[in-house]
Structure 1
Amino acid sequence: MREQLIESTRELLWERGYVGTSPKAIQQRSGAGQGSMYHHFRGKPDLALAAITRSAEEMRARAEAELSGPGSPIRRITAYLSRERDALRGCPVGRLTQDPDVMADPELRRPVEETFSWLRARLAAVLAEARAGGELAAGPDPAATATALVAVLQGGYVLARAAADAEVYAQAVDGALGLLAGHVR
């Protein structure tokens, strides 16, 4: 039952945000009773933290699989940026940055902040690897480029949602890859 509660909370946070994720909605989605929910978690903040942490861990694991996969560093970055995503639904972790209740709570914000710090550092390391191996020109700073790539993905989600058009997200990724290609040797 603990897993159903976490998964239901993850889905609701993604769909409705923190305020819209009521204990009653969690119980209805998960099929858990109130006693079961409070047996596993102290309350909504505790359950939300477990759900946010799970989303962050899954995002990191998927990114790590792509960024440490086969191929050259630039090929791995391209695979990460180009992978299939539900652009109109947005990033389950990135959307939390727009939730004032999550951002106001240091405990709930921590896994979001740590995930994006990790992602920027991991991309910077792969870019540095590409530079050291001669695949990438010495010009662009790996940390700044990594931050720009994360911003393109997250901004692409926002633009696609605003336009109700997933193609806008694809254009953002294509634009970032085009800029990156200008520095590939």
Structure 2
Amino acid sequence: MTGGTSDARDRLIEGTRQLLWDRGYVGTSPTAIWKAAGVGQGSMYHHFDGKPDLVLAAEERAASEMQDQVRRILSGEGPAYDRIAAYLLKERDALRGCPIGRLAADPEIAGDATLREPVRETFVVLHECLVAAIEEGKAGGEFRDDLDAAGISYALSAVIQGGYTLARAEGSVVPFDRAVQGALELLRLATHEGR
């Protein structure tokens, strides 16, 4: 594959990824993809079997980036609370929403097991990394022994995804930021120092 061909494929994937994030599956038309990627119609069909194949590639790229980021933050060094706080407080575009979470609400993607898989897998990775961090915190005496790591993990994921929804509904990042601060306060209360 030549550099130009590879570049066109990459631009198609990236253009589709951005369109999916902003418009969803139905709003991501082939014409919009060609325009966003700056390529001709034939380029899309040269590299992909059609829109679903290209959407899957775009989803896989977004999922891979998010999974890498989750692993890097939550599996790093330092106290478990600090790592979880770093994940919750990382810079996000709260009004744009989560590039993966928004796909979970898209009926075209949610209704197709193949297109849903990168979304599902990303939330599994997030859950596993949060559970591991919480369990490490429990083992190190940072969190209370009776803390339900799986339940807390799901609650923290729900705070982020729900925070995006609240921010978009309000047209302000304030609900998102307050939800994150509330979650951190509850998590702090689960530490031995927070009692």
Q: Which consecutive residues of structure 1, in runs of 5 or more, have no partner in the other structure?
A: none
Paired with 1:109 and 1:168, the residues of 2 have a C-alpha distance of 28
Give the CA deviation at 1:98.
1.1
The residue number in structure 2 matching 1:151 is: 158
1:117 alignment partner in structure 2: 124
SS across alignment from 1:36? helix
Question: In the aligned structure 1, how far is the partner of 2:49 from the partner of 2:23?
Answer: 21
- 2: CA distance between counterparts of 1:151 and 1:31? 37
1:106-138 Cα deviation digits (max 9, x unpaired): 100011011101111110011000000000011
Give the whole-Å Cα distance in 1 for the aligned partners of 2:182 and 2:139.
24
Q: What's the CA shift for 1:74?
A: 1.1
Look up the match of 1:58: 65
2:186 matched to 1:179? yes
TM-score (norm 1): 0.98
Structure 1 residue 70: Cα displacement: 2.7
1:52-78 CA-partner distances (Å, limit 9, x unpaired) = 111111111111111122311111111
Runs of 4+ in 1 over 2 A off after TM superposition: none
Aligned amino acid, residue 60 of structure 2: T
Show the counterpart of 1:137.
144
The 2-side partners of 1:97 and 1:67 are apart by 23
Structure 1 vs Structure 2: percent identity of aligned residues?
55
Amino acid paired to 2:119: V
Secondary structure of the 2:168 match is helix
Partner of 1:32: 39
Deviations 1:1-29 (A, max 9, x none): 11100000000001100000011100011
Residue identity in the other structure for 1:102: I
The count of residues paired between Structure 1 and Structure 2 equals 185
Partners of 1:158 and 1:99 lie apart in 2 by: 14
Local SS of the residue matching 1:17: helix
Please give the per-residue CA displacement for 1:43-101, whole angstroms capped at 9, x wherever unaligned. Answer: 00000000011111111111111112231111111101111110000000000111100
Corresponding position of 1:90: 97
Gapped runs of 5+ residues in structure 2? 1-7
Aligned residue in 2 for 1:128: 135
